Amino acid sequence: MKLLQDRTAVITGGAQGIGFAIAEAFVAHGARVVLGDLDAAALDAAAARLGGEAVARTAVCDVRDADQVRRMLRGAVDAFGSLDVMVNNAGITRDATLRNMTEEQFDQVIDVHLKGCWNGTRLAGAIMREQGSGSIVNLSSLSGKAGMVGQTNYSAAKAGIVGLSKAAAKELARHGVRVNCIQPGLIRTPMTEAMPAKAWDQKMAEIPLGRAGEPAEVAGAAVFLAGDLSSYMTGTALEVTGGRLM
Ligand code: NAD
């Protein structure tokens, strides 16, 4: 059964990692996707892997910049005729303890995650409310539920995304637009592969299912939230964590 047949989805940070896995799953479920990311070459390679122009377009887009996000969303509607799903996934880490974190590291993470997600939610929400339908999926994190050492910036941003999503869900519900979050735990991607081995092992020890998750396992939750199987869900945060910190 294809759950997203002929829907149009925009996925930020879609060139690699979880964003790319979400794009793959969406295309497998019949959607057409627009990938937004910073690097044109990485985007082109990702779109080619998805099957090329008929199903995947790209937009060089920094989610911190509202004009760039607006252009990407208009491009998606022009290319494919609607905007049905928006996935705010782009992210970075700048880990450091509270004692060592610079103001710049704090601001960078808040800007990409929280302002980026706000830009994506409000600008996609504006198109979807006119359409009378849509699903917005925002990538929070277990860090936003539990708080992680060395991540005061990231944990604040990811908890903020939950609040932002719930507020937006209340504003957009009467226009037929749902807003939900995913809170992944430890998922194997370029972001987490950069982590020191000791930190990786500590996290692994907390996971009841005994392994890290794969990007495709987060993508499964995104397909569910994007499509009609979740039609009565809005303002929720789904944990995809192998049971970690339940
Ligand atoms: P990743 O580093 O593999 O991919 C992130 C992508 O976002 C990259 O392609 C990058 O170029 C892009 N990006 C960064 N800044 C951007 C900007 N300003 N504008 C547009 N694109 C930008 O990371 P990932 O592990 O795939 O993470 C994806 C999302 O999932 C992030 O929001 C992350 O915080 C969240 N997450 C990841 C994990 C995990 O264990 N990997 C856990 C919880 C939450």
- Determine the pLDDT at residue 53: 96
- Determine the pLDDT at residue 234: 99
- Determine the pLDDT at residue 101: 98
Residues whose CB falls within 8 Å of the CB of residue 111, separated by 6 or more in sequence, listed in order: 64
54 C-alpha to ligand 1 centroid (Å): 25
CATH number for the segment(s) 8-239: 3.40.50.720
Mean pLDDT (10-residue bins), the chain, 246 residues? 97 98 98 98 98 98 98 98 98 97 98 99 98 99 97 98 99 98 96 89 96 98 98 98 98
User: Is the beta carbon of 10 within 6 A of some atom in ligand 1?
Assistant: no
- For ligand 1, what atom is nearest to the CA of residue 184? 43
Nearest residue (CA) to ligand 1, atom 31 = 91
Q: What is the DSSP string of the chain?
A: --SSTT-EEEEETTTSHHHHHHHHHHHHTT-EEEEEES-HHHHHHHHHHHTSTTTEEEEE--TT-HHHHHHHHHHHHHHHS---EEEE-------B-TTT--HHHHHHHIIIIIIHHHHHHHHHHHHHHHHT-EEEEEE--HHHHH--TTBHHHHHHHHHHHHHHHHHHHHHGGGTEEEEEEEE-SB-SHHHHTS-HHHHHHHHTT-TTSSPBPHHHHHHHHHHHHSGGGTT--S-EEEESTTTT-
- Determine the pLDDT at residue 1: 86
- Determine the pLDDT at residue 2: 96
- For ligand 1, what atom is nearest to the CA of residue 182? 44
Q: Could you list the active site residues?
A: 154
User: Is the beta carbon of 187 within 6 A of some atom in ligand 1?
Assistant: yes
